[in-house]
Amino acid sequence: MDGYVKGNTGFEQSIYAYLTELQISKIVDSLNLNYVNSRMIPLGNDVEKFIHNIEPIDFRKHGGNLGTSDIAIVLDSVLSRHKKNDVSIFISDCIVSPGNKYASSPQSLDNYLLEQRTKIKKSFVQSLEQAKGDLAVVICHLTSLFDGRFYNKFDHPTYYKGNRPFYVWLIGSTAHVKQLLDKVTLETLKGNGAELENVYTLLASAKKIDYGVLLTPRLGHFDFDRTNPKTAIRNIRKENKGQQGGTFMFSVGANLNQLPLDKSYVLNKANYEVNNKDYVLSVKEQKGGRFSHVFGLSSKIASRGNITITLKNQFPQWVVDKTDFLGDDLEKDGTTDKTYGLRYLIEGVYDAFTSRQKDYAEFKITIN
Amino acid sequence: MGEFFELLLGNMYCWFKSFYSDFLSQYLWGYNPASGAYDLELRYNSIGLYTLVISFVIMALYYYVIDHPRFCKWWSWLIMALLNSVIALFVGYYCVLSDYNAGIIPDELMYLRDENGEVVQTLISIPSECWSFGISNMIMAFIFFLVFSFLFHWWSRVAKYSPFIKF
């Protein structure tokens, strides 16, 4: 990480701005700042002092093993110290560094990467169990100027100066992460020399999302099923007048703002699946009213039965695109904007969450 | 069985639901958009009860208070039936209008609003739908009066064969 902190860098300034915003917004009771390599080294709670004391020379002073970093062990150490009401913020280049012992047997590298994935999955599965299923992880991909020695997968250093990715992970309960993101948005990380490129959210929440069928907007007619008016309708009839004649449409409201998901992800209907292909889905945000979002389900066929709308947890393409699969030489391989092993790390987290809860949310409606 | 009787009046009113909007019907059923449940007052029952009582009183007036030989023909009965219906028209009209004026009808049933909260469509037109519901109440009142007449005309002194054929 030396190359990110030499001098006054965008990396430092964006982290400084974010941590300061957390303090002044009073969203947190206390900030406990740590430096982590082979062990966790506490550095108090003074943000300004923390930022000014993360030069390469300070890393050496703090101790620990600055060499090969096993990201899985580092994440496990963060998770093992994480308490129920905490939000842990983990900042790293997330480069998997197998080390020079693999130089003589490069065929074992795949096994090392797979092992990292499995170890990370195990750590997060344990954390999910401890949190009784209520855990969210937001992984932010940023870029900042890097000026220093870059160590490849075999620990061979080369000098590099240019933009390099780094990652900020927020880990906590769904409600706490949501509160944090609402109060101090990820926009705070931008514009101080670092750029926010991508975000991926993983969550498993014990709390059910409030949803229900709405009387309007609609086309045609239906009655609520009195035995379960929130999620069951009956006596459906298509619209018989005007341009929309022959179409049946009903709306379902849902409080998707309970989830710490990116707004554009929630509004993109490609991230949803409807089990009944007779119905076409639309998604809109609603200002005011009981629900934050409204789904529209329309059909020319107006079939009856059970309809399930699923908000899918799609493994993001940007993780694959930003993974360096070679890990040899940044400039020769054209991987200056990529991270070696990234896909395996995030797949480990993805596997842990999806083993518990496959999708972000599911909404079930019955048409009798 | 309890639910059957609880919903009986509402189901009967729904025979004439085409006179007024589905949104007014949902309000009268007690639908609460805020909770998505039927947890508001079942107005079909309360208005239906007023109409039942008025119909019974008018029936009793005709058969047991007036009960006069000069007012016991089929047209006499019809006058009382029409009187009952007209009263029911105003009862239905007034009940819905007073609920609207008191702000009891939920906003989501009254208006369709856009994302900014501006009204794009009025779902329940006041006072026209008050009259529409009044008309359906009027028809219900006629049915109640007819049924009560059939059930209770036997003990009337002179009017008991009205409007039914003398055996």
Q: For chain A, where are the E strands, in sequence order?
A: 34-36, 40-42, 88-92, 135-151, 157-172, 195-204, 211-219, 221-224, 232-237, 248-254, 272-274, 280-285, 293-299, 305-311, 323-324, 339-340, 361-367
**At residue A46, what are phi and psi to the nearest 5 degrees?**
-90, 110
B27, closest residue in chain A (CA to CA): A215
- Percent above pLDDT 70 for chain B: 98
Predicted confidence at residue A64, as pLDDT, reads 59
**Positions of chain A with pLDDT lower than 70, given as ranges:** 37-38, 53-69, 103, 106, 206
What are the residues facing B140 on neighbouring strands?
A: none
| A contact test, residue of B6, B21, B22 with most A CBs within 10 A | B22
Predicted confidence at residue A69, as pLDDT, reads 65
Integer Cα distance of A272 and B154 in angstroms: 67
Asked if residue B97 belongs to a domain, the reply is yes
Structurally, chain B folds into a number of domains equal to 1
Asked if residue B166 belongs to a domain, the reply is no
A285, closest residue in chain B (CA to CA): B115
- Which positions in chain B touch A220 (Cβ < 8 Å)? none
Give me the residue label for tokens 């923390």.
A50
- Which positions in chain A touch B115 (Cβ < 8 Å)? 284-287
Token code pair at residue A314: 């799609």
Per-residue pLDDT tens over the stretch B121-140: 999 999 999 999 999 999 99
Token code pair at residue A345: 């790390």
Instruction: Chain B: give the shortest CA distance to residue A210, in Å.
Output: 10
Instruction: Chain A: give the shortest CA distance to residue B42, in Å.
Output: 12
**H or E stretch covering A103:** none
Please check whether residue B84 is in contact with residue B55, taking contact to mean a CB–CB distance below 8 angstroms: yes
HEC states along A240-278?
CCCCCCCCEEEEEEECHHHCCCCHHHHHCHHHEEECCCC
Integer Cα distance of B140 and A112 in angstroms: 80
Q: Which of A309, A313, A287 is nearest to A364 (CA)?
A: A309
What are the residues facing B121 on neighbouring strands?
A: B112
Integer Cα distance of B135 and B128 in angstroms: 11
Contact B26 A215 (CB under 8 A): yes
Integer Cα distance of A358 and A361 in angstroms: 9
Give me the residue label for tokens 């703090």.
A62
pTM above 0.80, yes or no: yes
Strand order in the sheet with A232-237: A221-224, A232-237, A361-367, A305-311, A272-274
Of A213, A287, A290, the CB nearest to B115: A287
- Which positions in chain A touch B34 (Cβ < 8 Å)? 290
Instruction: Chain B: give the shortest CA distance to residue A316, in Å.
Output: 30
Integer Cα distance of A262 and A279 in angstroms: 25
Q: Which domain range does residue B130 map to?
A: 2-13+21-161
**Positions of chain B with pLDDT lower than 50, given as ranges:** 167
- Which positions in chain B touch A212 (Cβ < 8 Å)? 36
Asked if residue B167 belongs to a domain, the reply is no
User: Is A332 within 8 Å of chain B by CB?
Assistant: no
Q: Which of A153, A223, A168 is nearest to A14 (CA)?
A: A168
Predicted confidence at residue A167, as pLDDT, reads 95
Contact A286 B115 (CB under 8 A): yes
User: Is B59 within 8 Å of chain A by CB?
Assistant: no
Contact B123 A216 (CB under 8 A): yes
The ipTM assigned to this model is: 0.81
Contact B108 A284 (CB under 8 A): no
**Residue B76 three-state SS:** helix
- Which positions in chain B touch A213 (Cβ < 8 Å)? 36
Instruction: Chain A: give the shortest CA distance to residue B51, in Å.
Output: 25
Strand order in the sheet with A88-92: A88-92, A157-172, A135-151, A195-204
Contact A215 B33 (CB under 8 A): yes
- Which positions in chain A touch B36 (Cβ < 8 Å)? 212-213, 229-230, 290
Token code pair at residue A33: 């700042």
Instruction: Chain A: give the shortest CA distance to residue B115, in Å.
Output: 5
- Which positions in chain B touch A284 (Cβ < 8 Å)? 115
Q: Where are the alpha helices (DSSP H) in A91-133?
A: 109-130
